[in-house]
């Protein structure tokens, strides 16, 4: 409670300071957009022509940003990893080959740890891209390509803590990653393959055939069945509907829980009413090769809770309801 009271008493200044920090950092990133030039294109070309890996390196806060840039590159189709410059001078340089590209981050461009390993990198024959805030710095001068990530000022009131400069470097790294992604034609399926464990991977890699009900679990009755037969099939299979098919198992219609409620209002004889007379003809359907995410989209679009799965000849091969998609964690 004591800390809360202190925060409340400082609220006006804290809000003003917070907004000022965000504005300074936003301005720093916006300024980068106006400065992008042929050096950005040259950096892209160097990475696109790389036959090895992209190694990203930096000390201190720049090192944290370098790690994130390496992670973003790797997840968007450009194999990359982080090498600590201090460890590199004690053996980790062996991880770097002549076929690699190094992206070195240092706002001053004078990081001693980076400059110590630069001669070895150049001697190895690897390409060097530097990202600094000083185009006249030592690191910028020895690089094959220099990316200017200078900012007018740090958001830190004392101008000491890296704030706007690290945000700018991070944004510039993202710009590189996205431009490379586009140049390589890296798509959603590619992204999913590098994220198989997350919800995104499940949505992008799971196909209808992987989770649909089939075989004995598939609810269906023939077109000459009675309404009572269809109701029993709905109850047995627990999907909330049944398909109506012909002798070749081609889909003729669907009968759902909703149809049953509407039928009850008509007080029809379940044992004397042909299912064909009360079914919904030409039901929505989906291919087993479609992504499960497409099934979700279609069911939401048409406000339905079940969907039939048919092949190219309109033959019934499966069925899905929202519970199946929830169970598979597609939604």
Tens digit of pLDDT for each residue in 38-69? 999 999 999 999 999 999 999 999 999 999 99
Task: Indicate the burial class of 166 (C-beta count within 10 angstroms; 0-12, 13-18, 19 or more).
Answer: buried
Question: Which pLDDT belongs to residue 105?
Answer: 97
> What pLDDT was estimated at residue 194?
58
pLDDT at position 88 is 84
Tell me what pLDDT residue 155 has: 87
DSSP 66-96: HHHHHHHHHHTT--EEE--HHHHTTTGGGG-
pLDDT at site 190 = 57
- Give the C-alpha distances (Å, rounded to integers) separating 120 from 49, 52, 70: 21, 17, 21
Q: What pLDDT is recorded for position 187? A: 65
Q: Specify the fold of 208-327.
A: CBS-domain (3.10.580)
Contact status, residue 28 vs residue 164, Cβ threshold 8 Å: yes
Would the pTM of this model clear 0.75, i.e. be above it?
A: no
Dihedral sign for Cα atoms in the order 263, 265, 269, 270: positive
Q: What percent of the chain has pLDDT over 70?
A: 91
Pick the CATH number of 24-186 from 3.30.450.20, 3.60.21.10, 3.40.50.10490, 3.40.50.720: 3.40.50.10490
Residues in CB range of 247: below 8 A, 6 or more apart: 222
Where do the structural domains in the chain lie, given as residue ranges? Answer: 24-186, 208-327
The per-residue pLDDT for 327 is: 85
Same fold, 24-186 and 208-327: no
User: Of the candidates 57, 68, 162, 38, which has an alpha carbon nearest to the alpha carbon of residue 101?
Assistant: 57
The predicted structure's pLDDT at residue 14: 85
Question: Please, how many CA atoms are within 13 Å of residue 300, restricted to the half-sphere of its CB?
Answer: 8
**Which segments of the chain have a pLDDT < 50?**
1
Model pLDDT for residues 112-134, shown as the tens digit of each residue: 999 999 999 998 899 999 999 99
- The residue whose two tokens read 């299979």 is 237
């Amino acid at each position: 409670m004591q800390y809360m009271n202190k925060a409340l008493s400082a609220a006006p200044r804290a809000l003003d300071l917070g907004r000022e920090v965000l504005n300074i950092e936003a301005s720093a990133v916006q300024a980068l957009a106006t400065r992008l030039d042929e050096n950005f294109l040259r950096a892209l070309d160097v990475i696109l022509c790389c036959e090895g890996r992209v190694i990203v390196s930096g000390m201190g806060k720049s090192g944290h940003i370098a790690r994130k840039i390496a992670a973003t590159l790797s997840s968007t189709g450009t194999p990359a990893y982080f090498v600590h410059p201090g460890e590199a001078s004690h053996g980790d340089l062996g991880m770097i080959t002549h076929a690699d590209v190094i992206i070195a981050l240092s706002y001053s461009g004078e990081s001693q740890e980076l400059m110590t390993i630069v001669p070895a990198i150049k001697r190895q024959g690897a390409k060097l891209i530097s990202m600094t805030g000083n185009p006249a710095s030592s690191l910028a001068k020895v690089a094959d390509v220099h990316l200017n990530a200078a900012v007018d000022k740090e958001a830190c009131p004392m101008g000491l803590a890296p704030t706007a400069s690290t945000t700018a470097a991070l944004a510039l790294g993202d710009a590189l990653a996205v431009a490379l992604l586009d140049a390589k034609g890296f798509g959603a399926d590619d992204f999913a393959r590098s994220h198989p464990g997350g919800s995104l991977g499940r949505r992008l890699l799971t196909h209808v055939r992987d989770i649909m009900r089939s075989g004995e679990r598939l609810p269906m009755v023939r077109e000459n069945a009675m309404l009572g037969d269809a109701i029993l099939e709905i109850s047995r299979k627990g999907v909330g509907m049944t398909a109506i098919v012909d002798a070749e198992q081609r889909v003729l219609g669907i009968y759902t829980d909703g149809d049953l409620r509407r039928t009850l209002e008509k007080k029809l004889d379940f044992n004397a009413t042909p299912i064909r007379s009360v079914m919904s003809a030409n039901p929505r359907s989906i291919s087993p090769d479609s992504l499960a995410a497409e099934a979700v989209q279609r069911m939401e679009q048409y406000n339905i809770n079940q969907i039939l799965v048919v092949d190219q000849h309109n033959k019934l091969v499966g069925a899905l309801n929202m519970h199946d998609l929830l169970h598979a964690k597609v939604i």
